[in-house]
Structure 1
Amino acid sequence: MKYMFLIYLDEAKFAVVSQAQRDAFVNGMMDYDEELKAGGHLIMAEPLKLPSEAITLRAWDGELTLTDGPFMETKEHLSGFILIEACDMNEAIRLGARMPLVTVGSIELRPLDVLERIA
C-alpha cells in the first residue's frame, strides 16, 4: 500500500536553528531517503519551496481566481513530501518515526486512495 508523509515545518522554530544544524537536517534527510530506498520503500521524495512562492487556484462559480501563497494562515507550512510503499499503517508509522524532521516539525501520514472510473 502507498502512503504519503506530508512534512510540515514551523518556519519560526526552524529560523533559530544554526546553519550547522540546518546542514545536519539536510544531510539527515538525504540519508533517510537513502535508507527508505535501500529498504525498497521509497517511491518519491521532494522538498517544496517556501509558501511565499505558492499560488492557490480556485475555479468557483466558473471563475478562475489566483491567490498568492497558501490558502490558510498557519504557523506550520507544507515543506515537502515523501511517497512510500509499506505493508500496512504500522510499518509506515515505524518508517516515519525515523525521519529527522519529525523532531522540528510534524509529519502527516496519509494512505493514498485509489479512484476507479464509475461506469
Structure 2
Amino acid sequence: MTKYLVAIHRPNDYDPYVAEDEAMSRDIDALNVEMVAAGIRVFVGGLQPINSAKSLRCEANGEVSMADGPYLATTEHIGGFWVLEVANLEQALTWGRKAAVACRAPVEVRPFH
C-alpha cells in the first residue's frame, strides 16, 4: 500500500464561509465517511487562509528569515488535503476525482516516497 496526498487547490481570495454552501459541506462529509468506511483515510485537514501563513527560509549565512504569507507567490494555494493509503495510483486517482467533485475544486494527487 502506498500513501498519497490528495490536495485541494483554492484561489487566494477563497473564503470558505462564503463559498461553501450546505450542499458542498454534505458532499465533503459524505466523502470523508466513505473514505473511513473504505479504510483508506490516514489523515485529513483543512488549512486556514493564506494570510495566516508564515514562510521560513534558510539564508546562506545559516540564519532563518521569516515573512508573512505563503512561500510561493501564486494565484492559488492548497486549502486542504487528505493523506490516503491505497494499493496504487489508479485507486488514488479515483478518490481524487471524488474529492474534485465534492470540493468543486482542482485536485492534485501525488504519492509519498
Asked whether the two chains share a fold, i.e. TM above 0.5, the reply is yes
TM-score by length of 1: 0.81
Q: Indicate the residue corresponding to 2:80 in structure 1.
A: 80
Q: Indicate the residue corresponding to 1:10 in structure 2.
A: 11
Tell which deviates more after alignment, 26-35 or 88-97.
Answer: 26-35
Q: Secondary structure at the match of 1:98?
A: helix
> Does 2:47 correspond to 1:48?
yes
Instruction: Return the alpha-carbon distance in structure 1 between the equivalents of residues 29 and 89 of structure 2.
Output: 23
Q: Indicate the residue corresponding to 1:117 in structure 2.
A: none
> Does 2:59 correspond to 1:60?
yes
AA in 2 matched with 1:8: H
Give 1:63 deviation, angstroms: 1.1
Give 1:23 deviation, angstroms: 2.7
Instruction: Return the alpha-carbon distance in structure 1 between the equivalents of residues 3 and 17 of structure 2.
Output: 35
Give 1:18 deviation, angstroms: 9.1
TM-score by length of 2: 0.85
Give 1:25 deviation, angstroms: 1.8
AA in 2 matched with 1:57: L
Unpaired runs of at least 5, structure 2? none
Instruction: Return the alpha-carbon distance in structure 1 between the equivalents of residues 67 and 20 of structure 2.
Output: 33
* Pair 20,110 (structure 1): closer, same or farther in 2 beyond 3 Å: closer
AA in 2 matched with 1:9: R
Alignment RMSD: 2.1
Instruction: Return the alpha-carbon distance in structure 2 between the equivalents of residues 45 and 78 of structure 1.
Output: 13
Unpaired runs of at least 5, structure 1? 114-119
Tell which deviates more after alignment, 59-68 or 44-53.
Answer: 59-68
